[in-house]
Structure 1
Amino acid sequence: MSLLRFSVGNFCSIKDIVTLDLAPKLGEATALTDPVKEITEPVTAIFGPNGSGKSNLLEALQFAHDVIIRSATSWRVLDDYPTQPHFPFKLSKETVSQPSFFEFDFTIDETRYLYGFTYGRDGVVEEWLSYVPKQRWSKGFIRNRTETPEIDWNNSYITKTLQKELGKVDKRELILSVALRDEHPLLQKIAYALVSSLSFLPLGDFAQNERIQQATSLIRKKHFDLDEISLLMKAADTGIESVSLNEEKIPPEILERLYKFLKAMKELDDESNEEILSNDEAEKVIYNLVFTHGGKINSTLDLSEESAGTLAWLSTAPTLLQTLREGSILIADELDSSLHQKLLEMIIKGFTDPSINQHGAQLIFTIHNTNIIEHMDDLSLDTKSIWFMEKNQNGESSLFSLVDFPNHADANYERRYLSGRYGALPFLSPSTLRGLVSTQGSETAHESNSESPSPA
């Protein structure tokens, strides 16, 4: 799957609908006249101050992804709760009770699709699917909210037999979620492409746990190879020569299954789709990885002794490699967190270099490091790849692209951005900080004087 555009509205700080356009070359055209790889941007970088809504945009992608997976499965157990998961823009009375809007414009095997839905505290309000069989958009289905969902089908595309295959759809469930759960002959392919093509790398206060979970997920999904991990750690110049397992601390039955799986991988023998390990078992493996560092005297460290940068790369690199191999989409919040500038550049080049990115993989990430803008030419990026987010005085996030501004071939984009030409900069107040420090200093001095003994 390739993502052309993603739109979201009334979600967290995003009040009005904004659209992240990953295929600006497509313009207003409906049909795909060129191969998808030639019209999509392989890299999309989103800049903006803290609190501008950058993370909310990526969280909207994650939430829409989760609704497709869970609304007909795990979220059905929310019967004890009065409402479904709902995160509207809360700084306006108009939007608090309104549903959020999500829409994907994407391709599967060079066929273009438009799928979207509105989702509120009572579940699904609207849902729609269109596709381009030749030159024009054609309806797949349109669903409107009633006590029993009313669905307007395109009977020539989704026949009555296929409609019956879908069965009953609850008002809280997306049609695509039901199709995914029940393996619908036609719609499952679309649903699966949407959810399986998106990989997320969240960062934040719980980054350590997120990284561990990311690594355990790779084991559970059969994307783990110690030799490849070792090479990836070398590629980042972490000083790590190899990655191995502390076999003494891993239960023998888990170790036996893991090595059996690794052997099967090397022989390209994927006999079973079952998870090789449970989540708890995978964690036992991760926590017992041993990292051998080179030098005059080789030394080994375990996971807890490695730096934040090494852990960041350990959690990023395997997913990065998997994304490039599969031609899927990697979505990373604050990709530059704990990663060196040169390593960050290597990641970006991995997507912009066609000799590496042979399958049309896409990278979408938020970032604060403006050096990326300065080195756009070296990284094969252009103005279409650079986006900004900012909030207005009402707390509403807006999204816009560098291509929206008049620019020149020899323009210093980083300097222009930092000088405020494009907006999306924090309005800092060092005088406030100075005043706070001075106030504390005055109070401390006053207390000191009041406690001093009076002269005899």
Structure 2
Amino acid sequence: MLLEFTVGNFLSFKEKKTFTLEASSITEYKDNVVQKGKYKILRSAVIYGANSSGKSNFIKALEFMVETVRNSSKLNSTDKLNAKPFLLSDKTVNLPSHFEILFTKYGKRYRYGFELDNERIHEEWLYILNEKSKKETLYFIRNIDGIGVADVFEEAKMFIENTKENSLFISLLDQLNIEIGKQIMGSFSYIFIQSGVEHEKSITMTSLMHQTDTYQETVEKLINSLNLGFRSFHLETGSNETFKKRIKTIHNIFDDNGKIVGEREFKLVEHESSGTNKVFDISGHIAFALSLGLHLFIDELDAKLHPILTQEIIKLFNNPETNPNDAQLVFTTHDTNLLGAKLFRRDQIWFTEKDNCEATDLYSLLEFKDEDGNTIRKDRSFEKDYIMGRYGGIPYISNFQEI
């Protein structure tokens, strides 16, 4: 499971900021926490913030790290790395961007990260902590001068000279079938990132899952459980149209007394709401994540969805019965109703806010201190306090009437 992600000098993140899914010692909503060995890990988290405060940039930062790891071994020696440093400071524009991730798997905690600019990898490191250990073991560390490999990682030493300046050592190790390289790459393959606004391409996953015997029932149960206003749905057979255009929803027909007298088919793309279409689009990724215990990140989950529907999706991840494989959901939103729905612990609620230099700060509600320097109590009205600006993360707008 995912424990932490740190980003620095990337897009609007000037300083290093750490997002953590490791649960604190607070006691509310115990079902929202998974025990993995000695770690207590959150099943979900939500990120609030004003427009342009950095919420989406947080998702983009994780996506950049994931894609860099996945594609590094495919690069030619002259390929650029598409680095995006913080551009509003004369000190950071020429410095490398920083990325680090912590996750637990196979009874171990892995800490892997790197720093890069557009031309090359500046630093790269891997530390592993065994469950019974109290100290991390260094496996390799890299800087501009080269790569140092520890004796415990003897099998990797012979490949140091094969690593290109613009390629990650861990990706090379995976390509060469080195076990630890495969473990790291496997963990990155468990991270899925989706847009809640531009979600149309996600229907491909729904299509694949619905046409696979193992997952077809899972997708159907998920969609039907969300009570979208129709009785059921099916795929039109004998059609050459795309998956989504073949979906027909079944609605009841009623007489004047409210008695069901028949049924009628609607075409999903023509007759159902944009919210219903979004649910179909992303349902494959939700079902896939729940089935395999993946880490699902969605930017603007609430877009086009009724607040109650958004709540039901969150509950699927927070509930151990519907999430037995310990999948994790992290999403950004503007939907303040969720703060009053008793869905989240204080350590599951995060905010982004920009400082006077247009740099993003990232902090959890549990970290936040009130005007007296005290942490926020669990019986506070989080929604009311947030709207009033008590926690930050809201837009500051001029008086439109005066303008």
TM-score norm. by structure 2 comes to 0.86
How many Å separate the matches in 2 of 1:408 and 1:217? 45
Shift of 1:167: 7.0
Correspondence 1:198-237 to 2 at 5 A: 198-204=191-197, 207-215=198-206, 218=209, 225-237=215-227
Q: What one-letter code is carried by the residue in structure 2 that aligns with 1:245?
A: L
Q: State whether residues 239 and 294 of structure 1, in contact with CA within 8 Å, keep that contact through their aligned partners in structure 2.
A: no
How many Å separate the matches in 2 of 1:165 and 1:397? 38
Q: Secondary structure at the match of 2:151?
A: coil
Which residue matches 1:396? Answer: 359
How many Å separate the matches in 2 of 1:190 and 1:286? 35
Which residue matches 2:100? Answer: 103
The one of 340, 345, 369 equivalent to 1:374 is: 340
Q: Secondary structure at the match of 2:174?
A: helix
Give percent identity, aligned residues only.
Answer: 29
How many Å separate the matches in 2 of 1:72 and 1:217? 27
Which residue matches 2:252? Answer: 294
Q: Secondary structure at the match of 1:247?
A: coil
Rate the CA distance shift 1:287–1:173 in 2: closer, same or farther, 3 A.
farther
Q: Does 1:421 align with 2:390?
A: yes
How many Å separate the matches in 1 of 2:215 and 2:104? 31
Shift of 1:184: 2.3
How many Å separate the matches in 1 of 2:320 and 2:384? 29
How many Å separate the matches in 1 of 2:210 and 2:40? 34
How many residues in Structure 1 have an aligned counterpart in Structure 2? Answer: 379
**CA offsets, 1:169-194, max 9 Å, x none?**
1111112222333332332122211x
**CA offsets, 1:348-381, max 9 Å, x none?**
22222222222222111111111111122xx2x2
Which residue matches 1:21? Answer: 20
Rate the CA distance shift 1:25–1:247 in 2: closer, same or farther, 3 A.
same
Q: What one-letter code is carried by the residue in structure 1 that aligns with 2:337?
A: N
Which residue matches 1:137? Answer: 136
Q: Secondary structure at the match of 1:72?
A: helix
Shift of 1:68: 0.5
Which residue matches 2:243? Answer: 285
Q: State whether residues 127 and 143 of structure 1, in contact with CA within 8 Å, keep that contact through their aligned partners in structure 2.
A: yes
Which residue matches 2:72? Answer: 71
How many Å separate the matches in 2 of 1:357 and 1:218? 18
How many Å separate the matches in 1 of 2:7 and 2:205? 26
Rate the CA distance shift 1:213–1:230 in 2: closer, same or farther, 3 A.
closer
The one of 80, 84, 101 equivalent to 2:81 is: 84
Which residue matches 1:304? Answer: 269
Q: State whether residues 126 and 143 of structure 1, in contact with CA within 8 Å, keep that contact through their aligned partners in structure 2.
A: yes
Q: What one-letter code is carried by the residue in structure 2 that aligns with 1:176?
A: I
1 or 2, which has the higher helix percentage? Answer: 1
The one of 119, 123, 128 equivalent to 2:116 is: 119
Q: State whether residues 230 and 241 of structure 1, in contact with CA within 8 Å, keep that contact through their aligned partners in structure 2.
A: no
How many Å separate the matches in 2 of 1:39 and 1:395? 34
Q: Secondary structure at the match of 1:14?
A: coil
Rate the CA distance shift 1:232–1:35 in 2: closer, same or farther, 3 A.
closer
The one of 307, 314, 330 equivalent to 1:348 is: 314
Structure 2 residue ranges without an equivalent (≥5) = 27-34, 255-261, 370-374
How many Å separate the matches in 1 of 2:173 and 2:194? 27
Q: State whether residues 48 and 350 of structure 2, in contact with CA within 8 Å, keep that contact through their aligned partners in structure 1.
A: yes
The one of 190, 195, 199 equivalent to 1:197 is: 190
TM-score norm. by structure 1 comes to 0.77
Which residue matches 2:235? Answer: 245
How many Å separate the matches in 2 of 1:105 and 1:347? 26
The one of 156, 169, 174 equivalent to 1:180 is: 174
Shift of 1:407: 2.2
Shift of 1:59: 0.9
Q: State whether residues 389 and 424 of structure 1, in contact with CA within 8 Å, keep that contact through their aligned partners in structure 2.
A: yes
How many Å separate the matches in 2 of 1:216 and 1:197? 20
The one of 326, 338, 347 equivalent to 1:384 is: 347
How many Å separate the matches in 2 of 1:102 and 1:223? 39
Rate the CA distance shift 1:402–1:109 in 2: closer, same or farther, 3 A.
same
Which residue matches 1:359? Answer: 325
Q: Secondary structure at the match of 2:53?
A: coil
Q: State whether residues 141 and 151 of structure 1, in contact with CA within 8 Å, keep that contact through their aligned partners in structure 2.
A: yes
**CA offsets, 1:77-127, max 9 Å, x none?**
584x6x321111111122222211000011112211110001210031110
Q: State whether residues 352 and 363 of structure 2, in contact with CA within 8 Å, keep that contact through their aligned partners in structure 1.
A: yes
Q: State whether residues 125 and 140 of structure 2, in contact with CA within 8 Å, keep that contact through their aligned partners in structure 1.
A: yes
Q: State whether residues 69 and 180 of structure 1, in contact with CA within 8 Å, keep that contact through their aligned partners in structure 2.
A: no
Rate the CA distance shift 1:166–1:185 in 2: closer, same or farther, 3 A.
farther
Which residue matches 1:313? Answer: 279
Rate the CA distance shift 1:99–1:165 in 2: closer, same or farther, 3 A.
closer
Rate the CA distance shift 1:182–1:229 in 2: closer, same or farther, 3 A.
same
Q: State whether residues 98 and 120 of structure 1, in contact with CA within 8 Å, keep that contact through their aligned partners in structure 2.
A: yes
CA RMSD of aligned residues (A): 2.6
Q: Secondary structure at the match of 1:429?
A: coil
Shift of 1:140: 0.8
Q: Which has the larger radius of gyration?
A: 1
Q: State whether residues 162 and 185 of structure 1, in contact with CA within 8 Å, keep that contact through their aligned partners in structure 2.
A: no
Rate the CA distance shift 1:26–1:71 in 2: closer, same or farther, 3 A.
farther
How many Å separate the matches in 1 of 2:128 and 2:216? 42
